[in-house]
Structure 1
């Protein structure tokens, strides 16, 4: 009860807003940003965390409010009348977040239920004087940009929809019951490419919904730390998994378990030769060991998920099969090395039994790498609930 539980949105560099909200190195000036997020822990108090991790200048936040979205739905611009509440920072309505820093708001008495959707509205009078902005392009959720200060408006006037999240790094809830966090370190497969925009049907969402049906696991909150294009060993779209582990997992409030489901982009972007793929496979297994060691130092249980098939994908699939051989080698290490506290065999859950190097057609989003909602449900169903019972 004394520990805050975080439901973060991983933040990444770049991905600027559309005009006129991005002009000559000045972002979001005299504008209002409204976005919805789904929380996975319930409680009577919450606080917000804003990030300037990738901004090139201080971030002056003028005013913030939280509210309940109209109809309780994700991706809507209207809020329930009378539900808006002001957010403060050390008792003040505004804050300037230094370059590279995070800033946590004051706690706010604002009850939220597990799995509910929250609206966060930010007004930036000055904007951010930088060509770099902290954002999350794989939100699978519609946000809104509007002119002027509309922080507490029931609906936005002149709003522009954009499927991004900006600046908001986490919602933290002080739970009213015993709650612990499952953190998910992953790439676009965890971020939810192929899922339904505003549908909250990524595999982390589906897993959370499933856990809620069992009284032995209904106190588990899920922190989705997936980032599209992410790699383990090197930067891609945002810092690599080794570089962001401390910020995105180990620094979270209330985290107890970690699932590592990442590595396909390391294989897919390395040269398609036997030598290069052998090297990246060896480096990946060494990196997984580093993640395990660092997470266990924080008393986390660490579960390894096997890399799912990408046969037929352009450009990851190669005619000589060197990347597939590397995937098989990495998966064999995950299954048999004993380094992880448990193994979650996503590969087995979604591959085509007749052609194991490919996804089952019923789960394929169409590019032979990413999943449709049925595929994400299959991933969620493959996680043994017993691993998350306390």
Structure 2
């Protein structure tokens, strides 16, 4: 495939609500569950009774855009983090990651509670968490831990607050950079506090917390969805604390239809499919196994990633450029992700790359690659279905540019309305 191609004509009717187009019939192999004997050790930790309610992808400590708490870590601190779950149940547990730690991580104690306002939680809702019947847990370097399940009725789209007390020095922290949410920190042990007055420091990142899982209520079914990608999946450009990322909007559509689903966000701002980066996580073809294939009861993954592969080689002065990536190399990366998913019986929805005209990625070379890759996504038949996010948010009068009403202002990331249009472009029945 060359880097120049003729653009497919845009449909004349309602570009912003372009629907998900399914590819010819799915193979039986894709729709058949994989037996447990084929699962990895990471996947075997799930007993089938749990489903993901919220998730994020961990990253190594970094601070390319200003200070956060990851590089120094914590010592005699309590960290309180608020997340919104996409599906409900009658019990809950959390997942904590020390994937990028170089020493064992000691969690002195943890709680889960119903969110009130800011760092406050609702009276009577605090539940102490245990780990193998102990209140504390030590997570080895590179490791992950789940708490024991605790009775904790929660509804779809309800916010919950997870609080960690870290008594001993942690060293650099495994974290998630762009949370589009506020985390809180206090000196000393405040894991059981109802009010938030002790939490005087704030951060726009998540620390150690990588999942909330629920059980009970509706029977556990293999119908979960993982959204995998870069900053446009991560929600950069959406308002802070309002849960308007496109995966959030998708979860709201399912809930409004009376069919709440597990919708898990595994986007990392700046991430690439083919290149590791010093600030935006491991390359997608490496992290996919740990971030996606270890999630419980997942049926579908939506792949939206590649614009950073094409634009990351441009010298922009914020972060170090990465090696140039051809269209052929990005396609090979996506085929690798598809193979990994299909080997686990997971259906793959491929998404076209959204417009970049007017952004810091706007060059003739990047645009030619974007066009060529999108043509391949639409026509190759490599995926089980295609989500045409490009056409969903493009300006009908200038298809290389995002519609101004959908633009966050940097001409690369959608704003809240743009993320809503992306979610509306997905056919719930096809998913």
TM-score, length-normalised on structure 2? 0.83
Matched, 1:229 2:285: no
Distance change >3 Å, CA 82–CA 342, structure 1 → 2: same
Query: Could you say which residue in structure 1 is the equivalent of 2:243?
Result: 200
Find the partner of 1:348 among 381, 391, 403: 391
CA distance in 1: counterparts of 2:72 and 2:285, whole angstroms: 32
CA distance in 1: counterparts of 2:405 and 2:194, whole angstroms: 41
Larger relative strand fraction? 1
1:228-276 CA distances to partner (integer Å, 9 max, x unpaired)? 000000112111110101011111111110000000100111369xxx9
Query: Could you say which residue in structure 1 is the equivalent of 2:230?
Result: 187
CA distance in 2: counterparts of 1:127 and 1:117, whole angstroms: 29
Structure 1 unmatched ranges of 5 or more: none
CA distance in 1: counterparts of 2:152 and 2:347, whole angstroms: 31
Contact conserved, 1:41 with 1:175, CA < 8 A, in 2?
Answer: no
1:51-84 CA distances to partner (integer Å, 9 max, x unpaired)? 001112211100101111115xxxx100111110
1:144-187 CA distances to partner (integer Å, 9 max, x unpaired)? 00000000011231521111110111001114214421001111
Query: Could you say which residue in structure 2 is the equivalent of 1:357?
Result: 400
Deviation at 1:194, TM superposition (A): 1.0
CA distance in 1: counterparts of 2:254 and 2:380, whole angstroms: 28
1:307-332 CA distances to partner (integer Å, 9 max, x unpaired)? 00101112x111xx111111011001
Contact conserved, 1:307 with 1:331, CA < 8 A, in 2?
Answer: yes
CA distance in 2: counterparts of 1:358 and 1:370, whole angstroms: 11
CA distance in 1: counterparts of 2:272 and 2:85, whole angstroms: 26
Question: What are the within-5 Å matches in structure 2 for residues 148-167 of structure 1?
Answer: 148-156=188-196, 157-167=198-208
Find the partner of 1:10 among 57, 62, 65: 57
Contact conserved, 2:72 with 2:173, CA < 8 A, in 1?
Answer: no
Contact conserved, 1:122 with 1:151, CA < 8 A, in 2?
Answer: yes
CA distance in 2: counterparts of 1:225 and 1:44, whole angstroms: 25
1:17-69 CA distances to partner (integer Å, 9 max, x unpaired)? 969x78xx862101100011111121111111100011122111001011111
Query: Could you say which residue in structure 1 is the equivalent of 2:349?
Result: 303
Matched, 1:283 2:323: no
Matched, 1:91 2:138: no
Query: Could you say which residue in structure 2 is the equivalent of 1:112?
Result: 154
| Two-structure CA RMSD over aligned residues (Å) | 1.9
2:429 aligns to what SS in structure 1?
A: helix
Question: What are the within-5 Å matches in structure 2 for residues 1-390 of structure 1?
Answer: 2-6=48-52, 7-15=54-62, 27-70=73-116, 76-128=118-170, 130=171, 132-156=172-196, 157-178=198-219, 179=221, 180-215=223-258, 218-236=259-277, 237-270=280-313, 280-314=326-360, 316-318=361-363, 321-388=364-431
1:251-308 CA distances to partner (integer Å, 9 max, x unpaired)? 1111110000000100111369xxx97x521011111111111101111110000000
1:375 aligns to what SS in structure 2?
A: helix
CA distance in 1: counterparts of 2:229 and 2:72, whole angstroms: 32
TM-score, length-normalised on structure 1? 0.91
Contact conserved, 1:46 with 1:108, CA < 8 A, in 2?
Answer: yes
Residue correspondences, number:
370
The list of structure 1 runs, each at least 4 consecutive aligned residues, that deviate by more than 2 angstroms after superposition, is 15-19
**Is 302-311 or 52-61 further displaced after alignment?**
52-61
CA distance in 2: counterparts of 1:253 and 1:44, whole angstroms: 17
CA distance in 2: counterparts of 1:195 and 1:3, whole angstroms: 33
Contact conserved, 2:356 with 2:402, CA < 8 A, in 1?
Answer: yes
CA distance in 2: counterparts of 1:284 and 1:239, whole angstroms: 15
2:112 aligns to what SS in structure 1?
A: strand
CA distance in 2: counterparts of 1:143 and 1:40, whole angstroms: 19
1:198 aligns to what SS in structure 2?
A: coil
Q: Kindly indicate whether structure 1 or structure 2 has the higher relative contact order, using CA contacts under 8 Å at least 6 residues apart.
A: 2
2:133 aligns to what SS in structure 1?
A: coil
CA distance in 2: counterparts of 1:265 and 1:371, whole angstroms: 15
Distance change >3 Å, CA 339–CA 162, structure 1 → 2: same
Distance change >3 Å, CA 175–CA 283, structure 1 → 2: farther
Structure 2 unmatched ranges of 5 or more: 1-46, 316-322
